Amino acid sequence: MSLELASTRAELDGLLARHGSARAAAREQAAPREGASSPRTAVVMTMGALHDGHAALVRAARRHVGPAGFVVVTVFVNPLQFGANEDLDRYPRTLESDLKTAEAAGADAVFAPSVDEVYPGGTPQVRISAGPMGERLEGAVRPGHFDGMLTVVAKLLHLTRPDVAFYGQKDAQQLALIRRMARDLNFPVEIVGVPTVREDDGLALSSRNRYLSAAERRTALALSRALFAASDRLGAQHALRARADSAPTSRGRAAALSALGEARAAADSHAVAHAASRTPRTRACGAHAVRSAARVVLDQAVRDSDSFTLDYLALVNPADFTEVPDDYTGDAILAVAARVGATRLIDNIPLTFGASQ
């Protein structure tokens, strides 16, 4: 089936009704077979200007629902989530190429409504509040952004009526808030996160990357380099921890580390010795060293380029986006946001701080 385009709710309802009829027929055919299930509907919400990161979401949705399922991509630049001094007017609108990208990735339909179609009465008087998590990091820099985002996501979930919705992990705080909204407000939908897609040099794909000049794009690599440096530092700490734990216990911890011949041993010996003195349940690789490794890269970028301005670097608990302590164990997200010239970029990487066993 070729891709279908809907620009009004009536057209979208027609597409969903036809798919609903097909689902009902499939359900009847599948009823006698134990464990058989009817085809599912998946939605991928975008603001257009589709790139391979969006295509990865569509491909994930197609794999999830299978060839008999229905995948709809929404394309809507939501004015509620743009502040007064942000780039709503210049945000790229490329519907023709978006349709081609969506179809090639496996979408069945694209819903591309106008602002009047989504907000027929004008700016809605009732909106969804993102709560305390929506006031941190991106929410602190962009007040009201997440309220506007959740409001349109809720509307689009109602309009598309999916079984499952796919969102990119590059917008980690957004994903966490959508999951929280679905849970708190009992939305009957499964929320799935898809890993960040990157260029070969590490830059996270973003529709805003097209705003960057060649020089600015090189400068923008500091974001991903900082995240990778932090991840490498954590890996080195875990490796050092494992080797230190296997060292003879009769020698001092610092001496044992030095004997191992690790390049980082001298710098890490004090931190590892401190962690080793704690109980096994709380012995963790320090978050401070991870933050510091990322900060070194970002500070250098600030020194090297007048076009680079750091908004924040934060190592947070993915449950509520509060900063984690230095002795933290468990999953975390290292998030960074910066302006490169006139373009604001965000990136993040998931990390796991594991206690020694």
Q: Is 158 assigned a catalytic role?
A: no
How far is Cα 110 from Cα 311, in angstroms, rounded to an integer? 34
DSSP assignment of 135-160, as one string? GSTHHHHSTTHHHHHHHHHHHHHHHH
Helical (H) or strand (E) element with 251 = none
User: How many C-beta atoms lie closer than 10 Å to residue 305's C-beta?
Assistant: 17
What does the block give as tokens for 48?
A: 């257009």
Residue 215 to residue 175: CA distance in whole angstroms: 31
Q: Which residues on neighbouring strands pair with residue 333, listed in sequence order?
A: 316, 350
3-state secondary structure 9-45: HHHHHHHHHHHHHHHHHHHHHHCCCCCCCCCCEEEEE
Helix axes 52-65 and 95-105, enclosed angle (nearest 10): 40
CB 312 within 8 A of CB 141: yes
Task: Using CA atoms of 24, 29, 32, 37 in order, give the dihedral in degrees to the nearest 10.
Answer: -60
Asked whether the beta carbons of 203 and 228 are under 8 A apart, the reply is no
**CA angle at residue 203 from 311 to 105, to 5 degrees?**
120
Number of C-beta neighbours around residue 292 at 10 A: 13
CA-based radius of gyration for the chain: 24
| Sign of the CA dihedral with 212 first, then 215, 217, and 219 last | negative
Q: What is the largest CA-CA distance in the chain?
A: 76
CB 326 within 8 A of CB 279: no
Identify the active-site residue in 54, 238, 274, 288: 54
Residues classed as catalytic: 54
